[in-house]
Chains A and B, each alone.
Chain A
Amino acid sequence: GQNIDQPTEMTATEGAIVQINCTYQTSGFNGLFWYQQHAGEAPTFLSYNVLDGLEEKGRFSSFLSRSKGYSYLLLKELQMKDSASYLCAVSRGGSYIPTFGRGTSLIVHP
């Protein structure tokens, strides 16, 4: 089976940096997705990590450590519009479908 853990909720200040962690336990790990979901809207793709290390895309970066079963999403220069739920999802060999964590609700305040 698979076990994916993320904090339920985080708060941060506009302009700051926040790190959202995701730990997982799974066999046959392939890669890890991050999605952003604003309230009442569909999840949108942010990143997909297969190899260890940090991948940067503008204000958002995603890190993966396969040996530790650990990933994080780093959001810099936070804006109010970054208030959303952030979902990590694990894909593994032999399965066509990723398994989603319950998501981390990020609240950005002025």
Chain B
Amino acid sequence: KAGVTQTPRYLIKTRGQQVTLSCSPISGHRSVSWYQQTPGQGLQFLFEYFSETQRNKGNFPGRFSGRQFSNSRSEMNVSTLELGDSALYLCASSLIGGNTDTQYFGPGTRLTVL
């Protein structure tokens, strides 16, 4: 069974631009979560989608948004990029996203904002 895939793997953008990242979960998994990882803050939760609905949201500004499609694939969008948005963005999928459900992570998208 294929793992979680994320595209692109690397991105370089400039301040003020917007970016869209994509995540394809493991087949059969319906929950997709997004995380931002930086050396200073560790792994921080952005949002979680289940059945095309945002079910949980972390403490990030409205510039960060996402969506999920009927095939469970998910995208996240960051508008008006800031230098501080430079980070590794990880998505994780699980069967139903319950609190005992193991999350499987993708390789991440490394975003650099110049």
CB of B71 to closest CB in A, whole Å: 20
Report the separation of the CA atoms of residues A92 and B99 in the bound assembly, to the nearest whole angstrom.
7
B104 A45 Cβ-Cβ under 8 A: yes
Report the separation of the CA atoms of residues A92 and B50 in the bound assembly, to the nearest whole angstrom.
18
Partner of A103, one of B35, B42, B44: B42
B99 A30 Cβ-Cβ under 8 A: yes
Report the separation of the CA atoms of residues A30 and B108 in the bound assembly, to the nearest whole angstrom.
27
Count of CB-CB pairs between chains A and B under 8 Å: 62
CB of A11 to closest CB in B, whole Å: 18
A42 B90 Cβ-Cβ under 8 A: yes
B residues near A70, Cβ cutoff 8 Å? none
In the complex, per-residue mask of A60-80: 1 if CB is within 8 Å of any chain B CB, else 0? 000000000000000000000
Report the separation of the CA atoms of residues A100 and B58 in the bound assembly, to the nearest whole angstrom.
13
Partner of B43, one of A50, A95, A100: A100
Interface centre among A44, A50, A93, A100, by most chain B C-beta atoms within 10 angstroms, is A100
Q: Please give me the residue from chain A that is nearest to B106 by CB atom.
A: A42
- Tell me if A33 counts as interface (CB < 8 A to partner B): yes
B residues near A45, Cβ cutoff 8 Å? 102-104
Task: Name the interface size band of chain B.
Answer: 20 to 34
Report the separation of the CA atoms of residues A93 and B42 in the bound assembly, to the nearest whole angstrom.
23
- Tell me if A83 counts as interface (CB < 8 A to partner B): no
Partner of A91, one of B43, B99, B107: B99
Which B positions have Cβ atoms within 8 angstroms of A?
4, 31, 33, 35, 41-45, 48, 50, 55-56, 90, 97-108
> Could you give 7 example pairs across A and B, Cβ below 8 Å?
A30-B99, A42-B108, A50-B100, A91-B99, A96-B101, A97-B99, A99-B45
Q: Which 9 A-B pairs have the closest CB atoms?
A: A102-B42, A42-B105, A91-B99, A100-B43, A96-B97, A43-B105, A30-B99, A42-B107, A45-B102
11 more CB-based (< 8 A) A-B contacts, given A100-B44, A100-B45: A30-B99, A31-B100, A43-B43, A92-B99, A96-B55, A96-B98, A97-B33, A97-B97, A100-B42, A100-B43, A103-B42
